[in-house]
Structure 1
Amino acid sequence: MNVLINQESRELPDGATLADAVQAWETPAVFAAAVNLQFVPRTAYAQHRLAEGDRIEIIAPITGG
């Protein structure tokens, strides 16, 4: 199935989860993830099944002042 991760097209196997998508992407040490603009708790990544065309955002915090 085709999904977008941070606006880049990625091919994942049918039945893939958010955990699979995170593994396929070079994630920073600390990050949050959203699917179709809905935040997903880290504890739910392995259970959150993806669908064709889902939009995944992997977001790293920015510090500064």
Structure 2
Amino acid sequence: MSVIVNGHPQPLPEPPTPAALLLLLSPSTPFAVARNAEFVPRITYEECRLNPSDQIVIVHPTVGG
């Protein structure tokens, strides 16, 4: 079972949550997460269940214009 993270297939860890996925990927902070084009609040990372083929986007804010 896998999800798509920033356009690339990624095996889905157990439990299939954003928290487990982020633990596996260790993105640098700060970042925001979206699942299927919807923002995922940080407070829900542990309880939000991911499904096979979900589209996950991890974005990092940038400064400047």
The aligned counterpart of 1:40 is: 40
TM-score (norm. length: structure 1): 0.88
- For 1:5, give the aligned amino acid: V
SS of alignment partner, residue 22 of structure 2: helix
Percent sequence identity is 37
Match of 1:27 in 2: 27
Please, what is the CA RMSD of the aligned residues?
Answer: 1.3
* Alignment check: 8 A CA contact 2:17 2:50 kept: yes
**How many corresponding residue pairs?**
65
1:27-48 Cα shifts (integer Å, max 9, x gaps): 1210000000000100111111
Q: Unaligned stretches of 5+ in structure 2?
A: none
**Ranges in structure 1 where 5+ consecutive residues have no aligned partner:** none
* Structure-2-length-normalised TM-score: 0.88
Name the CA distance, whole Å, in 1 between partners of 2:59 and 2:25. Answer: 12
Q: 1:26 to 1:14 in 2, by over 3 A?
A: closer
Deviation at 1:12, TM superposition (A): 1.5
Equivalent residues of 2:14, 2:20 under 8 A apart: no
Runs of 4+ with deviation above 3 angstroms: none
- Between the aligned partners of 2:27 and 2:50, the Cα distance in structure 1 is 18
